A and B are shown apart, each in its own frame.
Chain A
């Protein structure tokens, strides 16, 4: 890489983050790798399975420190999931780690049958998820994974927003008796939570309260929701911001409260607008008879624009400016 990747944050967004007192952390990927190593040192029964992906997964130090707990299968994602399932069925706490794009498309049948249908406590970790690979193109994007996995019974889907959520999600997954899928990107993330925040799988975390607009975000879009909320506050709109880190099972209570208590609702995800968080929330609201101006922000059903992750986010309005504008239009009924 000769030139630094463009920032996910405009100068104005950075200034806003600073004003809010947000501190830049490390990539959720780095947090994952450090947490997994810590857990594996304490639990010899924990194994990581990689498909020539230990470098991309930042698991090099894990492999050096605990060589017998890292199983390499080569570039063979179907085998990675099958082996992870077999290890889990035989009593290992097995984490299968591979780029989200390959893990959840090529190996979808192994996830469906060997992990979910067989009900083994395997953890699948989709690294470099969403559009993290940027200009490498759609072969490397995973904009389908939540949609595909939402339709499969017996797996929790977790998309952490920052280092805290990542750490907590990995720890929860290590304790889980049921299948878990986690996905995150590789860009450094602002810390969003107060030290006293409690994390619970399946429960949204309220980052900011308000009754004009509710932003329901998941994963690495949540920070942009928060910054947009602050920007809107300067224009007199009070926004609620929810980090909906667990896409399945969905925190229906939090979604319904947002729909009933706010004038408009915007969902935000680094995923196709089809079949992900937004449509999940829409189904909850409609079936409860809650009608509210509603907008799903994600990657539209088109050939994804080429560019760095920051370019793609900005292009589709997943930014402080883009989200504030969409929310304002929604509230004004435009």
Chain B
């Protein structure tokens, strides 16, 4: 998998951190302009997507039609604004097109669809992505191809029973080319996941289902990169539990249920931009 062009363009952790600030700004702007979107979950998973699309996935606008590309399925489809921001940044479409997000006749729907370049499957109903990914990983195994398949699940999403059907099948078929990343931000629309209907401990559950489990800080680029770069164990699917903060990067959105699909007001948006600018200045200062 070292054949990927990504090694040539590999960004430093510092550059990725700056990129994440830019992506946060982008996704917030588009949610703000559209008056709709899933703010908290997009902010919690955007660092994961940043690492995937800049360091891990063998996929680019030029190679998206290659049957033997790596694949990413966003099972937690509601956080599509983070995915749109990353795909635009990777050149799959001009970022300016995101101004049409959720508008009449736009191809940028409020959940992922294949109308948008770079998106593999239409998702949005929870509990679908892992089964689809198992099918894709099986296809790669049948072809003895090196393709890897990644899917991103919400921790609240794991209440859907279909995930556990897929988890069993992935282990049964020794799908070490499959990695499920859990955006473990511990919140869902009603409140704390453990209070809504607890599904902890997630690591123990996935291990019991036959998976190799890694637990990382979902906002730490080095940890994410290390965990996603190769399967954790030969012959087993990998589950990366990424501990994240919902709303990460904007103080008043962090770990707050109301920002699940809260849309920033003018004042909120301005305040968020200021915070992100300050963070960017701090980062650039550190580098200087």
The number of A-B residue pairs with CB atoms under 8 Å apart is 100
Q: Which of B139, B147, B161, B165 contacts A87 (CB 8 A)?
A: B139
Chain B residues positioned under 8 Å from A117 (CB to CB): 113, 122
Pick from A74, A79, A88, A89: contact of B162, CB under 8 Å: A79
Docked Cα-Cα span, A79 to B131, in Å, equals 5
**A86 and B169 form a contact (CB under 8 A):** no
Q: Is B166 an interface residue (CB 8 A)?
A: yes
**B168 CB → nearest A CB, Å:** 7
Whether A82 and B134, one on each chain, are in contact in the complex, defined by CB atoms closer than 8 angstroms, is: yes
Residue among A68, A73, A83 with the highest chain B CB neighbour number at 10 A: A83
**Interface of A (DSSP majority class):** helix
- With A68-B142, A113-B128, A119-B114 already in contact, the answer to whether A85 and B121 are too (CB < 8 A) is yes
Given A79-B169, A82-B134, A83-B131, answer yes or no on A118-B142 (Cβ-Cβ < 8 Å).
Answer: no
Of the listed residues B114, B135, B165, the one surrounded by the most CB atoms of chain A closer than 10 A to its CB is B135
Q: Is A92 in contact with chain B by the CB < 8 A criterion?
A: yes
Given the contacts A68-B142, A119-B114, A89 and B168 also touching, CB distance less than 8 Å: no
Contact present for B121 and A89 (CB under 8 Å):
yes
Asked if A90 and B140 sit within 8 Å, CB to CB, the answer is: yes
Contact status B140-A82, CB under 8 Å: no
Does A47 reach chain B (CB closer than 8 Å)? yes
Give every chain B residue within 8 A of A156 (Cβ-Cβ).
Answer: none
Name the distance in Å between B94's Cβ and chain A's nearest Cβ. 24
User: Is A71's beta carbon under 8 Å from chain B?
Assistant: yes
Write out, one digit per residue, whether chain B residues 113-128 have a CB within 8 A of any chain A CB (1) or not (0).
1100000111111011
A84 proximal to B (CB < 8 A): yes
Residues of the A chain whose Cβ atoms lie less than 8 Å from the Cβ of B168: 74, 76
Across the two chains, which residue of chain B brings its CB closest to A117?
B122
Contacts known (A92-B142, A113-B128); A86 close to B122, Cβ less than 8 A? no
Q: Assess whether B124 is in contact with A94, with CB atoms less than 8 Å apart.
A: no
Whether the pair B135, A85 counts as a contact (CB closer than 8 A) is yes
Q: Is B132 an interface residue (CB 8 A)?
A: yes
Interface residues of B in 96-127 (CB under 8 A from A): 113-114, 120-125, 127
Q: How far is the CB of B142 from chain A (nearest CB, A)?
A: 7
Q: Does B39 sit at the interface, judged by CB under 8 A?
A: no
- B201 within 8 Å of A by Cβ? no
- Docked complex Cα distance between A76 and B162 (Å): 8
Min CB gap A232→B, angstroms: 49
B136 within 8 A of A: yes
Q: List chain B residues, Cβ under 8 A from A212.
A: none
A-side interface size class: 20 to 34
**Chain A residues, Cβ within 8 Å of B124:** 113
CA distance A68 to B142 in the complex (A): 7
Taking a contact as CB atoms under 8 Å apart, the answer to whether B138 and A114 are in contact is: no
Known contacts A89-B120, A117-B122, A119-B114: A82-B142 contact under CB 8 Å: no
Query: In whole Å, how far is B83's beta carbon from the nearest beta carbon of chain A?
Result: 15
Q: Is B67 an interface residue (CB 8 A)?
A: yes
Chain B, residue nearest A81 (CB): B131
Minimum CB–CB distance for B68 against chain A, Å: 9
* In contact, A78 and B135 (Cβ under 8 angstroms): no
A79 / chain B contacts, CB cutoff of 8 Å = 131, 134, 162, 165-166, 169
In whole angstroms, how far apart are the Cα atoms of A68 and B130 in the complex?
A: 21
Complex-state Cα separation, A86 to B147, whole angstroms: 14
Does residue B133 face the partner (Cβ distance < 8 Å to A)?
A: yes
23 A-B contact pairs sorted by A residue (CB < 8 Å) = A71-B173, A74-B172, A78-B131, A78-B162, A79-B134, A79-B169, A82-B128, A82-B135, A83-B131, A85-B132, A86-B136, A86-B138, A89-B135, A90-B71, A90-B136, A91-B67, A92-B142, A109-B128, A114-B122, A114-B128, A114-B131, A114-B132, A120-B121
Known interface pairs A79-B166, A86-B134, A114-B131; 8 further A-B residue pairs with C-beta atoms within 8 A, sorted by A's residue number: A71-B138, A74-B169, A82-B128, A86-B132, A86-B133, A91-B139, A114-B122, A118-B114
